[in-house]
Amino acid sequence: MPSFLTRLALIALTLLGSGTALAAPSLDTPATAAAGSTITFKATGSGNPREFVTVVPKGTREGAYEGYVYVGGGGSLKLAMPAKPGDYEMRVCEASSPYKTLVAKPIQLVGATASVSAPASVAAGASFEVKWTGPNNERDYIAVGETTPGGRLYLVVARRSENGRAGDGGDGAVYASDDGAEHWTRLPLPTGTNGPNGLTVDARDERRLYLAAWGVARADGDTGGGIFVSADAGLHWRAVFDTAQHVYDVTEDPRSGALYASGFDQGAWRSDDRGEHWQRLRGFDFKWGHRVVPDPASPDRVYITTFGGSVWHGPAIAEPLSLPKE
C-alpha cells in the first residue's frame, strides 16, 4: 500500500498536470496612465478570490494599500488611479494581513490636460454651448465658476466617491484660470481634505478665498470638512470652522460683509469677522441645508435653500454656536 507521503506526492503531481492550481500570480497593466483616470487591466492571484490589486506611490512600505479591487475570478479589472501625477506601483496582494505582495508592476501617472471654450457673455439663466477637451473620467463634469475683479476664474470639482479614502481618483479639486478659461492650474487643497464643495471670493480682497468642504468618512467621525480660508489666492489654507463637517457653500452679503454658510449638518451659520469666527443663525434648526441667500429687500433676513425641504426665510441674527443634540 502506498505510504502517506507517496499519496501526497501523487496528488500534487495530478494537480500540476491538470493545471488547476498553484499557477503563478500575474499582473498585466499599462506602463503609463493619466492621473485620476480609471484603467482596465488583467490580474490573477494564487486562487483566493479575496486577494486584491492596489495602487500605491513608488517606495510605499510592504502591506500598505490605497484604492483596490478584488481579483475575484481573474479577467479584466478596473481601478481608479490617484489624482496626483508621479511614479506608482500596482500590486497583487494576499487576502489576509500583512497583505504580502504576490506580484507588482510599476506605472507612471501623468497629468491630464483639459480645455474649455465658452461664449464671452450670455444672458443670466440662459443655456449655452460649451466646447471642451479632457480625460472624460467617470463623473467628470463642467461647472460655472466665479471670476474675480482681476479676471481670475475658479472651478470646483466635487468629490466623486464616498469610500472614506483620500488621495485616489475620486478626490475633488479646485482649479484657477487667468486667461479666460483657456488654461487651468490645479490649486492645493487643505491637508486631509478631498471634498471641496463651494468657493467664494471675498468682495474686498480677491486674494482672500473661502472654501466649503465635505468631510472624509471615518469610523471615529468625519474629518477634513468645514470651512477654510486662504489669504494668498488658494496657495495655502487655514481651517476656521470644523464643528460641522458637511458644509455646502459660503455666501457673502456685499452690503454688510457678513458671511453665511449651510450644509447637511443641522444648522446654518454667520460670521462678521471675515470667516474667523462663526455663530449659528437663530431659528434654522434643520438638516439638509443647501445655500444661504441674503434677502435683497432686507439685510436683516436671509433665504436658505434645502435639498428637498422647501425654502426657509428668517432673521439673519446669530446666536452662540452649539449644535443641537440628535
70: confidence class by pLDDT, cuts 50, 70, 90 = very high
- Least confidently predicted of 19-28, 54-63, 97-106: 19-28
Q: Is the pLDDT of residue 192 over 50?
A: yes
Q: Is the pLDDT of residue 231 over 70?
A: yes
Question: Quick one: pLDDT at residue 145?
Answer: 63
Q: Is the pLDDT of residue 154 over 50?
A: yes
Question: Quick one: pLDDT at residue 217?
Answer: 83
- For residue 98, is the peptide bond before it cis, meaning its omega torsion is within 30 degrees of 0? yes
Question: Quick one: pLDDT at residue 202?
Answer: 93
pLDDT tens sequence across 199-223 = 999 999 999 999 999 998 887 888 9
Cα–Cα dist 252/316, whole Å: 12
Q: Is the pLDDT of residue 20 over 90?
A: no
Q: Is the pLDDT of residue 244 over 70?
A: yes
> Domain 20-110 falls in which CATH fold?
Immunoglobulin-like (2.60.40)
**270 with 289: CB under 8 angstroms?**
no
pLDDT tens sequence across 264-320 = 888 899 999 999 999 999 989 888 888 999 999 998 999 999 987 789 999 999 886
Tell me the average pLDDT of the chain.
84
Find where cell 457673455 sits.
121
> Domain 132-319 falls in which CATH fold?
Methylamine Dehydrogenase; Chain H (2.130.10)
Give me 83's grid cell.
489624482
Cα–Cα dist 9/137, whole Å: 51
Question: Quick one: pLDDT at residue 22?
Answer: 53
Cα–Cα dist 209/228, whole Å: 8
Burial class (CB in 10 A: 0-12, 13-18, 19+), 118: middle
- Report percent pLDDT > 90 for the chain: 44
Q: Residues spanned by CATH 2.60.40.2840 within the chain?
A: 20-110
**More confident: 138 or 278:** 278
For range 221-228, the mean pLDDT? 92
For range 135-143, the mean pLDDT? 68
Q: Is the pLDDT of residue 130 over 90?
A: no
18: confidence class by pLDDT, cuts 50, 70, 90 = very low
Cβ neighbours of 146 (radius 10 Å)? 14
Q: Is the pLDDT of residue 128 over 60?
A: yes
Sequential DSSP letters for 23-78: PPPEEE--SEEETT-EEEEEEE-SS-TT-EEEEEETTPPTT---SEEE-TT-SEEE
Q: Residues spanned by CATH 2.130.10.10 within the chain?
A: 132-319
pLDDT tens sequence across 263-277 = 888 889 999 999 999
Question: Quick one: pLDDT at residue 146?
Answer: 62
For range 86-109, the mean pLDDT? 93
Question: Quick one: pLDDT at residue 17?
Answer: 44
Question: Quick one: pLDDT at residue 74?
Answer: 66
